[in-house]
Structure 1
Amino acid sequence: MPEFQIRKDHFLTNRLIETPETEQIPAIVEGEVVVKIDRFSFTANNITYAAAGDQLGYWQFFPPSGENTTDWGVIPVWGFADVVESRAEGIPVGERLFGYFPPASYLKMLPVGVSEQRLIDGAPHRSTLPPGYNSYSRVAAEPGYDSSMDNERMLLWPLHITSFCLWDALQEKDWYGARQVVILSASSKTSIGLAYALDADPDAPPVIAVTSERNLDFVGKLGLYRQCVSYDDLAAIDADVPTVIVDMSGNGEVLGRLHSRLDDNMMFCINVGLTHWDEAAPGEGVNKQRSEFFFAPGHIQKRMKEWGPAGFASRSSTFMRETTLKCRSWLRLKDVEGLDGLAGVYPDVCEGRVAPDEGIIVKL
């Protein structure tokens, strides 16, 4: 099976590379394992990895195979894989892992920090990258592991862990003194996860959803927002109320208009995603002094130090279970076969044409 690659300077351009390296199980030395990727999710979040690939190091996780790779990169994905070769003590063939993988057949790993439920890929080229992305769950050892939830887990976990961290960060800052929360790109699954958290929190301010005209009906039917407005109707938002913005869109023009409208009542803006990556240039009117990029892995590390790994896992896992069950009322899973199938749906993901209630699962 080939490896899916994209042009780092033009995300829409993609290719499938087939070489002996991608087709054959890689040779390994003592201490290494090879996993065969079984399935993974693919969402707008993966395009965010590409958009921030140079700034945050996402291109470094999985160097592209083949020749003439200078301008090409491999977008990381979240999914499940099975160990097919092992020369690492305590990691048997057949072990199933959940974590960060390339959209490809195989991945060679160097397990370190191995515990009953977790291992770290200690490959040298990953040593300086965010630790959370190098950690893999040994799912068979998880209490209550339910394989029937694998698809929802790989689709929602990478998104809703950010939702959980955003909610926690907003609480910690006492909502930045705001009396309303405005979420841009409110139809995204990360936004919906945050909205579930805020809706269940009696201390949270009311939430306003901003989304595209075509997604207004879907967002409104979720029943999570006090008000739903389109990008063209920002004047409907009460500018006299102190406001904190959570921006999942990265649309500089919309953000500039909203900052200007709120003026001094724009208490703070948390920049998270780039669902509108092609409109991500800074917009006129953006208050940069009251804006900050939110990096979920950094917040996770902070809370793990303060709460301990077990404490963080307990709190976040409870949240994830609850939001996943809530999402079942509207989420439709779409199975795509192989990397050829991924190549077929990739333009729709890249250009934001995937319906908000749809989740793409790629089976290899």
Structure 2
Amino acid sequence: MQEFQTNKEDITQSRLIQAPINTVNDGEVLVKVDRFAFTANNITYAAMGDQLQYWQFFPPHGEDAKKWGIIPVWGFADVIESNNTELRVGERLFGYFPPANELVIKPMRVTPASLTDGSAHRAQLPPTYNMYQRVKHEPGYDRANDNQRMLLFPLHMASFCLYDLLKSNDWFGAEQVVIISASSKTSTGLAYGLADDKDAPHVIGLTSDHHLDFVNSIGAYDSALSYDNLEQIDASKPTVIVDMSANADLLSQLHMHLGDNMRYTSNVGLTHWDESRSADGIIKERSHQFFAPSHMQQRMKEWGVDEFNKRSTSYIMKSAAKTVPWLKIKELDGLNSLEDTYQDICDGKIGPDEGLVVVM
């Protein structure tokens, strides 16, 4: 069995190793990974692997295993062996998998719609990431839509949570929303949701020169600027910032430009993962790290799971429908192709209109 691993001290380094054949104990199932998406979001998982426990989901095998980690990916897998009475061979699951051929899951809290992996090493990890959807039980499930679902569902779920955060706080009193790294798919998913809300503030996309034409072309933002022209943002207006980049120097410039009118910053992603994460001038008391699974769990408690699923699914269907016309899906042939492409992903060389899918 092959396993794609990343060096935890230098996430630009990767390796493929041969892992031992899995043993399936009582109550467990063995799934064969069919396909998964790999995006800049996965690089964020690696960059924050220790801080947010992403390295804990799938323990690595091989020599010097402590130096290496397995980046979780969103994808589909099929049950090929079962020692569990509630899950038969042939079940198809959507959820969190390792970039590897197989995974052993211990199904718990099995319902017709979903199950949770009850493996001991995942017990303290966010429940959202331990849940798998039994897709063959979904009305109208169509494998033809798997690629879009893998690529967009996780990212636009975060978009929905950010939209809900902003709206439920009355936009933090802002008259404009600035989204940094506006070409990222989580950013565009958020911008589409804001564009659909007549009460939302003016939305400005901030992006690189290289991606400015793309950001202007997708109909998500009221206006767009390159990083070099951020001083054109009206500093007289109360502003909320959603930062997908984690580029501290850029964020510092924007905070100093806005001054007291910087009302709130949500620190989300790490599209500029290799840039400095600290700089003078950042208003830390009005800046907060955003973690989508925590927001989801809170809303599920307040609204109930069914209501949360209803609202989030409605949002994602609308934002995904606006994304599909410009999204170009590129399929990679297995883990060797992923390893060949991995450096380009780390270097940000994948176009914002591209979506990579690894077919095993």
Shorter-normalised TM range? over 0.9
1:319 CA displacement:
1.3
Residue aligning to 2:222: 226
Mapping for residues 1-364 of structure 1, pairs under 5 Å: 1-19=1-19, 21=20, 24=21, 26-364=22-360
Letter in 2 for 1:239: A
d(CA) in 1 for partners of 2:305, 2:139: 16
Q: TM-score, normalised by structure 1?
A: 0.98
d(CA) in 2 for partners of 1:43, 1:242: 33
* Unmatched tracts of structure 1, length 5 or more: none
1:318 CA displacement:
1.3
d(CA) in 2 for partners of 1:224, 1:120: 35
Letter in 2 for 1:50: A
For residues 282-326 of structure 1, give each alpha carbon's deviation from its aligned partner in whole angstroms, at most 9, with x where no partner exists: 122111000000110001001111111111111111111122211
d(CA) in 2 for partners of 1:100, 1:328: 22
Letter in 2 for 1:186: A
Letter in 2 for 1:73: G
Instruction: Using the TM superposition, name which of 231-240 and 116-125 deviates more.
Output: 231-240
Letter in 1 for 2:91: E
1:143 CA displacement:
2.0
Is the contact made by 1:274 and 1:280 (CA closer than 8 Å) also made in structure 2?
A: no
Letter in 2 for 1:11: I
d(CA) in 1 for partners of 2:348, 2:34: 26
SS in 2 for 1:9: coil
d(CA) in 1 for partners of 2:171, 2:244: 17
Is the contact made by 1:254 and 1:283 (CA closer than 8 Å) also made in structure 2?
A: no
d(CA) in 2 for partners of 1:271, 1:219: 20
d(CA) in 2 for partners of 1:318, 1:4: 34
For residues 106-128 of structure 1, give each alpha carbon's deviation from its aligned partner in whole angstroms, at most 9, with x where no partner exists: 10111000000100000000000
Letter in 2 for 1:288: K
Letter in 1 for 2:139: P
Letter in 2 for 1:205: P
SS in 2 for 1:84: strand
* Unmatched tracts of structure 2, length 5 or more: none
For residues 19-61 of structure 1, give each alpha carbon's deviation from its aligned partner in whole angstroms, at most 9, with x where no partner exists: 3x1xx3x121110001000000000000000111111100000
d(CA) in 1 for partners of 2:3, 2:36: 14
1:144 CA displacement:
2.2
d(CA) in 2 for partners of 1:315, 1:142: 17
1:81 CA displacement:
0.2
SS in 2 for 1:91: coil
Q: TM-score, normalised by structure 2?
A: 0.99
1:278 CA displacement:
0.4
d(CA) in 1 for partners of 2:327, 2:138: 25
Percent of paired sites with the same residue: 56
d(CA) in 1 for partners of 2:300, 2:293: 10
1:223 CA displacement:
2.0
d(CA) in 1 for partners of 2:101, 2:222: 45
d(CA) in 1 for partners of 2:323, 2:221: 16
For residues 231-284 of structure 1, give each alpha carbon's deviation from its aligned partner in whole angstroms, at most 9, with x where no partner exists: 111111111110000000000000000001000000000000000000142122
